[in-house]
C-alpha cells in the first residue's frame, strides 16, 4: 500500500531544492526509489511507507542545509544521505547495546528511560554499581536481568541475591517451615523479578545447581564470592557495619549491584545511619564504582505511582519547611 507525504516550501526553497528543470527531484527519486511530484511550492512523495519517510527526512535536511549554505549540489544530497545512513546504523548499534538479552520466558528486557539505559551501561562497565531511587524505577529488575544475561554469556558462574531481613514497620513474628520458607517473605521481590524474566523450569534448574543463590544478608558474613554477579536489594535497610561487611565479600572476577530507596528506611530509630546513605560519601570518586540516581520520572509502574511519590515528596518538603520556620521563630524569640 502506497503512502503519500507532502512538504510545503517557500518560493526560494522550492527553486533551489527542485533544481534546474527538477533535476534534483529526479535524482532523489532514483536514489530513494519513490515518486516525487513538484508543483509550485509543494512536494508530494509517493511510495512505500519507509522509503517515503526516509525521503521526507532527506528533503527536510536539504532545507536546513540550504539555510546554512545558500546552495545545493548533487554531492550535498549524497552526503546528507550517507550521514543519515550512518546515524541510523549508530542508533541501531546503540539500541542493541542497551537491550538485555536473557533468552528465557522473556527473550529481551528493554530499559525504558534514559536513566535506566545509563544504569544498564554502568552495570556492564563497572565492578560496583549503586542504584538509588524510588520504588518502581526498575533498579532490582534490571539488575537481575543483567545478571542472567552475563551468566548466559559465561562472564560469571553464579548470581547471588541478598537483602536485609527487616520488616517494613510491622512484626511478622515466628514464621513456620525450613530456612528457605522462613526467609522467602523477605526476599519475595527478588523472586518476583526472577519469575517474570525466567521460565519456571530453567529457574528451578539454576536454583538446584546453585547458579542462583538467594540468601539473607546476615548469611553473607565470612564468605568470599568469586566469579559471581551479586545483588544487594533494599540496601537502605543495612547498617553501617552490614554494608562494610557486604562490600568486602567481593572476590575475583565478581560484580556487585546495590539497590535501594533512601526515602524508605525501616531501620529502628536507635540504630546507626543507613549503610546506603553513608557509602555515597565514603565511596565517591573511586574508579570502578558508579552511582546512578533515579527519580519519579523513571517510574515504570502504574501511572499513579509517580503521582503518589510526588505527593509524598511535597509532603516531606512542607514538613521540613514548617520545622525550619518553627526553629527560626524560637531562635528569634530567645
* Residue ranges of E strands in the chain: 3-8, 35-39, 42-47, 100-101, 108-109, 128-132, 158-163, 212-216, 228-232, 255-260, 289-293
End-to-end CA distance of the chain: 81
1-42 pLDDT per residue, tens = 688 999 999 988 999 999 988 999 999 999 999 999 988 889
**Res 83 pLDDT > 70:** yes
- If pLDDT is split at 50, 70 and 90, which confidence band does 319 have? confident
- If pLDDT is split at 50, 70 and 90, which confidence band does 288 have? very high
> Measuring CA to CA, which residue among 292, 100, 127 is closest to residue 196?
100
- Residue 125 CB contacts under 8 Å (≥ 6 apart), including other chains: 290
Pairwise CA distance, residues 314 & 310, whole Å? 6
Q: Which residue is listed with cell 526553629?
A: 327
pLDDT value of position 142: 95
- Count the neighbouring beta carbons within 10 Å of the beta carbon of residue 160: 22
Full-model pTM: 0.65
- Count the neighbouring beta carbons within 10 Å of the beta carbon of residue 147: 29
Contact 237, 265 (CB under 8 A): yes
DSSP code string of 258-270? EEE-TT---S-TT
How far, in Å, are 136, 144, 250 from residue 227 at the CA level? 29, 16, 9
> Measuring CA to CA, which residue among 6, 24, 23 is closest to residue 62?
24
Q: State the pairing for strand pair 42-47/35-39.
A: antiparallel
> Measuring CA to CA, which residue among 316, 310, 312 is closest to residue 297?
310
pLDDT value of position 218: 84
Amino acid at each position: 500500500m502506497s503512502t503519500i507525504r507532502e512538504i510545503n516550501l517557500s518560493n526560494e526553497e522550492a527553486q533551489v531544492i527542485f533544481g534546474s528543470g527538477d533535476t534534483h527531484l529526479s535524482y532523489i527519486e532514483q536514489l530513494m526509489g519513490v515518486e516525487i511530484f513538484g508543483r509550485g511550492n509543494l512536494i508530494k512523495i509517493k511510495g512505500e511507507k519507509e522509503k517515503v519517510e526516509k525521503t521526507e527526512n532527506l528533503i527536510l535536511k536539504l532545507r536546513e542545509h540550504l539555510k546554512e549554505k545558500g546552495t545545493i549540489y548533487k554531492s550535498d544530497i549524497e552526503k546528507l544521505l550517507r550521514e543519515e545512513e550512518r546515524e541510523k546504523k549508530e542508533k541501531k548499534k546503540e539500541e542493541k547495546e542497551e537491550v538485555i538479552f536473557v533468552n528465557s520466558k522473556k527473550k529481551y528486557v528493554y530499559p525504558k528511560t534514559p536513566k535506566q539505559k545509563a544504569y544498564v551501561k554502568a552495570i556492564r562497565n563497572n565492578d560496583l554499581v549503586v542504584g538509588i531511587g524510588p520504588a518502581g524505577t526498575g533498579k532490582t529488575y534490571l539488575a537481575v536481568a543483567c545478571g542472567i544475561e552475563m551468566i548466559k554469556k559465561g562472564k560469571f558462574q553464579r548470581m547471588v541475591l541478598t537483602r536485609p531481613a527487616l520488616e517494613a514497620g510491622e512484626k511478622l513474628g515466628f514464621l513456620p517451615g525450613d530456612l528457605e520458607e522462613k526467609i522467602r517473605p523477605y526476599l519475595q521481590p527478588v523472586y518476583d523479578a526472577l519469575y517474570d524474566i525466567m521460565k519456571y523450569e530453567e529457574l528451578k534448574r539454576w536454583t538446584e545447581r546453585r547458579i542462583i543463590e538467594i540468601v539473607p544478608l546476615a548469611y553473607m558474613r565470612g564468605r568470599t564470592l568469586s566469579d559471581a554477579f551479586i545483588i544487594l536489594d533494599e540496601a537502605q535497610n543495612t547498617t553501617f557495619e552490614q554494608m562494610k561487611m557486604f562490600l568486602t565479600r567481593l572476590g575475583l572476577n565478581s560484580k556487585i549491584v546495590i539497590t535501594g530507596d533512601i526515602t524508605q528506611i525501616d531501620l529502628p530509630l536507635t540504630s546507626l545511619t543507613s549503610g546506603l546513605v553513608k557509602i555515597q560519601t565514603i565511596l565517591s570518586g573511586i574508579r570502578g564504582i558508579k552511582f546512578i540516581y533515579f527519580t519519579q520520572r523513571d517510574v515504570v509502574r502504574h501511572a499513579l505511582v509517580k503521582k503518589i511519590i510526588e505527593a509524598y515528596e511535597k509532603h516531606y518538603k512542607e514538613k521540613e519547611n514548617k520545622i525550619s520556620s518553627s526553629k527560626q521563630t524560637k531562635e528569634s524569640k530567645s
